Amino acid sequence: MAAKPKLHYFNGRGRMESIRWLLAAAGVEFEEKFIDTAEDLDKLKNDGLLMFQQVPMVEIDGMKLVQTRAILNYIASKYNLYGKDMKERALIDMYTEGVADLNEMILQLALCPPGEKDAKIALIKERTTNRYLPVFEKVLKSHGQDYLVGNKLSRADVHMVEVLYYVEELDSSLTANFPLLKALKTRVSSLPTVKKFLQPGGQRKPPIDEKSLEKAKKIFKIK
Amino acid sequence: MAGKPRLHYFNGRGRMETVRWLLAAAGVEFEEQFFETRDEFEKLIQGGTLMFEQVPMVEIDGMNLVETRAILRYIAAKYDLYGRNLKEQAWIDMYVEGLKDLSDMIMYFPLSLPEEKDMNLEYILERATSRFFPVYEKALRNHGQDFLVGNRLSWADIQLLEVILMAEECKPSVLSDFPLLQEFKARISHIPTINKFLQPGSQRKPPLDEESIKTVKNIFKFERGMFLKNMATIVAEY
């Protein structure tokens, strides 16, 4: 019997959160080993477990996978969340990378110097409502199906819904003009394993607060 | 009969160069449509073929593919450069994602502020020789094979060669402590399709010079001091 995947990261969202979402949507139970101090991270490095001295790292199927996208690609392929052929995969990849670009902007906000924060937030809001969400709303409208690609749940839907949560955390009005995306969010959130993930006690992580940010900075030696 | 893939970008390396390398290595002929000014770029955006208003974009098999990784994955899978199974794919993905971190640093280097240039170059070379190249040297040493994954040519090998050559442009002796990478470089460069791409007159692009930096800055409206701000994956010591 295969062991559960084991996720190595600090106890927060960061770059591991999209992996947690994908595993949850795939219905895969996973364990987490949290890095709490710089010494914990050093130990992982010194034990030779991190190919590029970086996390996220996921132990799965006898491998120690690193690089967020490598990990996500593996999980998506293994659990049939990556379309049925190359063309569907291409669409899924385009959508996924677009969502990742938006997600990256939001992720970087935590590390933004205070003086630049307002400008960055304004840019995120502008990009969300003018560049990214319209694309996906249009896709759903054009085929009228429940999911973005191939009339079936794929990683594109999971990443999209994750980012919709973050967008709404930033400003709940941002999704107001995107009814089909809101419906997708509800649909994916209602899937039994996702629902469980999102409930209190589930493995979804909350937004980072001052204290956890300070802790993360210490672990990763960010000034 | 399908048309040749058509690449939309400016006439320089940027994020399109790895796409050119992959197509060339696969022996696939391709066309290029360059934009040279902000106006031409905006015209392309208004044409509606750029899903997120960004390039690279590649017209291939009836699709307008955007997002570098989406493009590269499609090409790699189509031309059998993506491993034979899921585990090989995972190894290739890890290797190419590591290489991308390094090549992004090198790509952004010409956009450094003048006062940062020396420091940034030192950082790039330190990372290349202590974090990245050791991984690939070790991989080759461990299995003793000619290629990084599965004993056959893959996307990982092609991109490693590309990045080695970029690093050598920063410092010619950068591989001095990596004998297996030196052999790898020679070996992969001699593969006929790749060798052809390395010859003068091929579609391989040169590094940015004074002129082309100006052009790029005008087209894409970069802010000052792009280097560290764009090191999204390397912002921390992690």
Nearest to A86 among B74, B87, B89 (CB): B74
Which residue has tokens 């031309």? B79
Judge: B238–A61 Cβ closer than 8 Å, yes or no: no
Query: A42 touching B, CB under 8 A?
Result: no
| pLDDT, one tens digit for every residue, chain A (223 residues) | 578 999 999 999 999 999 999 999 999 999 999 999 999 999 999 999 999 999 999 999 999 999 999 999 999 999 999 999 999 999 999 999 999 999 999 999 988 888 999 999 999 999 999 999 999 999 999 999 999 999 999 999 999 999 999 999 999 999 999 999 999 999 999 999 999 999 999 999 999 998 999 999 999 888 6
pLDDT for B75 equals 98
Nearest to B65 among A66, A90, A108 (CB): A90
Nearest to B238 among A63, A87, A220 (CB): A220
Rounded to whole angstroms, the Cα distance separating A20 from A23 reads 5
Partnered with residue B33 across adjacent β-strands are: B8
Q: Which two tokens stand for residue B118?
A: 């020396």
Judge: B52–A101 Cβ closer than 8 Å, yes or no: yes
Which of these, B136, B133, B6, B124, lies nearest to B71 by C-alpha position? B6
ipTM value of the model?
0.96
| A21 to A27, A135, A175, A188, B198: CA distances (angstroms) | 10, 22, 20, 11, 43
Nearest to B51 among A108, A135, A219 (CB): A135
Rounded to whole angstroms, the Cα distance separating B95 from B100 reads 9
In contact, A58 and A7? CB cutoff 8 Å: yes
Range B71-84 average pLDDT: 98
Judge whether residue B237 has pLDDT over 60. no
Could you tell me which residues come within 8 angstroms of residue A60 by beta carbon, excluding any fewer than 6 positions away?
A: A5, A6, A71, A74, A75
Judge: B51–A98 Cβ closer than 8 Å, yes or no: yes
Give the gap in angstroms from C-alpha B129 to the nearest C-alpha of chain A.
Answer: 12
Give the gap in angstroms from C-alpha A221 to the nearest C-alpha of chain B.
Answer: 5
In contact, A100 and A144? CB cutoff 8 Å: no
Searching chain A, which residue's CA lies closest to the CA of residue B67? A94
Nearest to B69 among A69, A131, A219 (CB): A69
pLDDT for B108 equals 85
Which residue has tokens 């996307």? B155
Rounded to whole angstroms, the Cα distance separating B98 from A66 reads 9
Query: What's chain B's average pLDDT?
Result: 92
Query: A101 touching B, CB under 8 A?
Result: yes
Judge whether residue B230 has pLDDT over 90. no
Residue B2's pLDDT band (cuts 50, 70, 90) = low
What value does the CA radius of gyration of chain A take, rounded to a whole number of Å?
A: 18
Kindly list the residues of chain B whose beta carbon comes within 8 Å of any beta carbon in chain A. Answer: 51-53, 61, 63, 65-70, 73-74, 77-78, 86-87, 89-90, 93-94, 97-98, 101, 131-132, 135, 232, 235-238
Judge whether residue B224 has pLDDT over 60. no
A 139-198 residues with CB < 8 A to B: none
